[in-house]
Amino acid sequence: MTGPVLAGWTPGVHLNERGREQAADLAVRLAPVALDMIVASPLERCQETAQAVLAGRDGLQLRTDDRLGEVKYGDWTGRPLEELAKEELWKVVQAHPSAVRFPGGEALAEAQHRAVTAIREWNGRLGPDATYLVCSHGDIIKSIIADALGLHLDQFQRIQADPAALTVIRYTELRPFLIRLNDNGGKVDDLLAKSGQDSDAAVGGGA
């Protein structure tokens, strides 16, 4: 966590004490999962989260991808969220985000496009059997999830992405599968590699 302001791309914004605790807890939870790569936003708070998971994993690489950086909020950057909630544009952000371009910044649709493109490219680079961790930001994560679910960007505010929460998407040749969403606790046994996984959805909802 970083506080009650819209940090955006503000340099020098680090995890606070609670954020460091959350990152450490995530690292412990992910310890049983063999990772092929960690890819992180260039912003300090994501780099610090990634480093927490990286610690003690010999040979694991951390790569930085600017496309997974926070939405460029422009003139909104650094302003208190309580103050921004009174802006007329805030209502549009909540109800019709695909139409939003932040003053002096980028459109949410542009941010989603760059983030999803990054994910697809990393999938292709690492291969279909790879398991990798992406450390990014709330709105970026929500936009990636919306894409995986086939949701229009206008629905992405229905998704929640808490700090250091775990969301898991399995990409296959046919479609993505949302395995876990905004998970703040619990075991990760179901994330360990299994043989016989295919790209077909089970009929009747079975695993």
In this structure, is residue 12 part of a structural domain?
no
Q: Which domain holds residue 124?
A: 29-189
Separation between Cα atoms, residue 206 and residue 168, nearest integer Å:
18
pLDDT (mean) for 177-195: 81
In this structure, is residue 21 part of a structural domain?
no
Q: What is the pLDDT of residue 192?
A: 74
Q: Each residue of 87-138: pLDDT tens digit?
A: 999 999 999 999 999 999 999 999 999 999 999 999 999 999 999 999 999 9
In this structure, is residue 195 part of a structural domain?
no
**DSSP class of residue 169?**
E
Structure tokens at 43: 């912003």
In this structure, is residue 204 part of a structural domain?
no
Q: What is the pLDDT of residue 1?
A: 43
Give the helix/strand (H/E) hosting 113.
helix 108-126
In this structure, is residue 24 part of a structural domain?
no
- Using alpha carbons only, what angle is made at residue 185 by residues 179 and 151, rounded to the nearest 5 degrees? 35
In this structure, is residue 145 part of a structural domain?
yes
Q: pLDDT confidence of 30, banded at 50, 70, 90?
A: very high
Task: Kindly state the percentage of the chain with pLDDT values over 70.
Answer: 91
Structure tokens at 117: 């493109």
Query: Is 3's pLDDT higher than 80?
Result: no
Structure tokens at 189: 């046994």
pLDDT (mean) for 171-189: 90
Residue 42: φ, ψ to 5°: -75, -10
Q: pLDDT confidence of 61, banded at 50, 70, 90?
A: very high
In this structure, is residue 159 part of a structural domain?
yes
What is the reported pTM? Answer: 0.89
Q: What is the pLDDT of residue 201?
A: 46
CATH at 131:
3.40.50.1240
Number of H helices, E strands in the chain: 6, 5
- Looking at the structure of the chain, the number of domains it has is 1
Separation between Cα atoms, residue 126 and residue 80, nearest integer Å:
39
Q: What is the pLDDT of residue 130?
A: 96
pLDDT (mean) for 141-146: 98
| Rg from Cα positions in the chain | 17
Nearest Cα to 134, choosing from 167, 170, 181, 174? 167
In this structure, is residue 68 part of a structural domain?
yes
Query: Is 203's pLDDT higher than 90?
Result: no
